[in-house]
């Protein structure tokens, strides 16, 4: 029996409580990889009916606004993704606690929110998975950190790992490291987009038209990531091969180093991780 069949994921109902960017990325990935049929996915949000309409049109998922009618979707789900912003989390999560049964798996994607805070909000016997995915899950190239509460069964672990593997790469990490995962891969795509924005701006300033600038930058980033993956060589080694003594790359790297780029990246990533911890602590304080 394949691991997919063994997990039973194909027959499960999945409810996304919070229907924003991250929920869409995961739902689209699960549907695109044909792991779950759209009819078995429901997506709920608070007030944005237009957004729900778009999701229904785009993917064929069931959608419903927050209110008494969403109870049935929440109660009937085998897996509930918590996917609202951290500032909305405590209120939204405590509102659904009375509806849940202990065999429903809760998967949180909320940055900073600890399993112990989730247990306070939901009840301590609920099986909970704390994850930190990223938006590249949309195209099956996500990177997700996963941590389990003590109540998650081996079967539920299998389902979780099958789901996240289908939309990218998984790393099961100690919960204490989840804020680090935020700094590395949760926020990570934005760092690369930021670099790409700067590269495209520079390309335009160097005289290239927008399309050529974009095409060259995108292919360069794609090629560099694939080189690291496929050759097994380290980024440092690959960089050395691009850098001729006293050539153009050396001149660029020297200028970027002089302007503090490596330090800025390290400090920025640490700040993201620190911010995740602050967000978690704020929620913890608010629920006492
Ligand atoms: N975006 C990213 O790259 C990543 C995000 N995350 C985490 O994912 C979570 C969601 O982020 P993101 O998708 O960007 O956020 P969005 O703002 O795009 O989406 C949040 C969603 O939550 C809904 N919501 C808010 N309050 C409630 C409520 N009380 N009941 C039901 N639905 C509610 C909103 O509905 P409405 O619009 O109607 O108010 C909206 O659909 C965050 O906690 C973030 O930390 C994790 C990894 C990466
Ligand atoms: O910016 C944020 O807070 C979320 C968490 C990780 C990526 N985006």
From ligand 2's centre to the CA of 273, what distance in Å? 10
Question: Which tens digit of pLDDT belongs to each residue from 160-202?
Answer: 999 999 999 999 999 999 999 999 999 999 999 999 999 999 9
From ligand 1's centre to the CA of 267, what distance in Å? 26
Which residue's alpha carbon is nearest to atom 7 within ligand 2?
187
Question: Which tens digit of pLDDT belongs to each residue from 79-121?
Answer: 999 999 999 999 999 999 999 999 999 999 999 999 999 999 9
d(CA 285, CA 281): 6
**Domain-terminating residue out of 156, 181, 206:** 181
Domain co-membership, 33 together with 108: yes
Is 235 labelled a binding residue?
no
Whether the CA torsion 10, 13, 19, 22 is positive or negative: it is negative
Please count the structural domains in the chain.
2
Buried b (16+ CB within 10 A) or exposed e, 45-60: beeeeebbeebeeebe
Domain co-membership, 161 together with 254: no
Packed helices 210-231 and 235-242: angle between N→C axes, nearest 10 degrees: 130
Tell me the CATH number at 93. Answer: 3.40.50.720
**Mean pLDDT of the region 6-33:** 94
Tell me the CATH number at 222. Answer: 1.10.3730.10
Domain co-membership, 129 together with 69: yes
From ligand 2's centre to the CA of 143, what distance in Å? 13
Which residue's alpha carbon is nearest to atom 8 within ligand 2?
187
Q: Are 106 and 118 in contact (CB under 8 A)?
A: yes
The answer to whether the predicted template modeling score (pTM) of the entire model surpasses 0.90 is: yes
Does pLDDT of 149 surpass 70? yes
Give the model's confidence band at 3: pLDDT under 50 very low, under 70 low, under 90 confident, else very high.
Answer: confident
d(CA 110, CA 131): 8
Domain co-membership, 43 together with 160: yes
Domain co-membership, 119 together with 162: yes
What confidence score (pLDDT) does residue 4 get?
Answer: 79
78 in any annotated domain: yes
Domain co-membership, 37 together with 104: yes
247 in any annotated domain: yes
Domain co-membership, 52 together with 173: yes
Percent over 90 (pLDDT), the chain: 92
What confidence score (pLDDT) does residue 2 get?
Answer: 81
From ligand 1's centre to the CA of 89, what distance in Å? 9
d(CA 28, CA 94): 27
Is 246 labelled a binding residue?
no
Is 70 labelled a binding residue?
yes
Identify the residues whose C-beta falls under 6 Å from ligand 2.
111, 182, 186-187
Tell me whether strands 128-132 and 142-148 are parallel, antiparallel or unpaired. antiparallel
Size of the chain, expressed as the number of residues it contains: 288
**Phi, then psi, of 82 in degrees rounded to 5:** -95, 115
Does pLDDT of 129 surpass 90? yes
77 in any annotated domain: yes
- By most ligand atoms within 8 Å of CB, the mutation choice from 15, 17, 19, 20 for ligand 1 is 20
157 in any annotated domain: yes
What confidence score (pLDDT) does residue 223 get?
Answer: 98
Domain co-membership, 55 together with 159: yes
219 in any annotated domain: yes
What confidence score (pLDDT) does residue 124 get?
Answer: 82
**Domain-terminating residue out of 126, 147, 181:** 181
Domain co-membership, 48 together with 154: yes
The angle formed by the CA atoms of residues 83, 68 and 98, to the nearest 5 degrees, is 70
**Mean pLDDT of the region 246-272:** 98
- DSSP β-bridge partners for residue 107: 81, 129
Give the model's confidence band at 66: pLDDT under 50 very low, under 70 low, under 90 confident, else very high.
Answer: confident
Domain co-membership, 61 together with 169: yes
- Residue (of 47, 53, 105, 49) closest to 74 by Cα position: 105
Domain co-membership, 60 together with 195: no
d(CA 125, CA 102): 7
**Mean pLDDT of the region 134-152:** 96
280 in any annotated domain: no
284 in any annotated domain: no
**Mean pLDDT of the region 123-143:** 95
Domain co-membership, 133 together with 256: no
282 in any annotated domain: no
Range(s) of the domain holding residue 261: 188-270
What confidence score (pLDDT) does residue 134 get?
Answer: 97
From ligand 2's centre to the CA of 11, what distance in Å? 31
């Amino acid at each position: 029996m394949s691991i997919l069949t063994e997990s039973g994921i194909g027959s499960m109902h999945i409810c996304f409580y919070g229907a924003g960017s991250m929920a869409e990325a995961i739902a689209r990935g699960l549907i695109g990889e044909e792991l779950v049929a759209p009819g078995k996915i429901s997506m709920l949000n608070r007030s944005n009916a237009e957004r729900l309409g778009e999701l229904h049109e785009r993917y064929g998922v069931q959608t419903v606004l927050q209110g008494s009618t969403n109870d049935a979707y929440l109660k009937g789900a085998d897996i509930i993704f918590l996917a609202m912003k951290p500032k909305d989390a405590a209120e939204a999560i405590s509102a659904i606690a009375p509806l849940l049964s202990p065999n429903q798996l809760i998967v949180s994607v909320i940055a900073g929110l600890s399993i112990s805070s989730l247990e306070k909000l939901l009840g301590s016997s609920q099986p909970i998975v704390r994850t930190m995915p990223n938006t590249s899950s949309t195209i099956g190239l996500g990177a997700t950190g996963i941590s389990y509460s003590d109540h998650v069964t081996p079967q539920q672990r299998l389902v979780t790992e099958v789901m996240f593997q289908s939309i990218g790469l998984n790393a099961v990490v100690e919960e204490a490291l989840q804020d680090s995962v935020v700094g590395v891969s949760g926020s990570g795509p934005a760092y690369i987009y930021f670099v790409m924005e700067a590269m495209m701006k520079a390309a335009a300033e160097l005289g290239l038209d927008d399309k050529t600038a974009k095409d060259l930058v995108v292919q360069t980033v794609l090629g560099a990531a694939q080189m690291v993956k496929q050759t097994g060589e380290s980024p440092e080694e690959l960089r050395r091969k691009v850098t001729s003594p006293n050539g153009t790359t050396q001149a660029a790297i020297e200028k970027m180093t002089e302007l503090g780029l490596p330090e800025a990246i390290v400090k920025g990533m640490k700040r993201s991780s620190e911010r995740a911890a602050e967000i978690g602590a704020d929620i913890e304080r608010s629920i006492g």
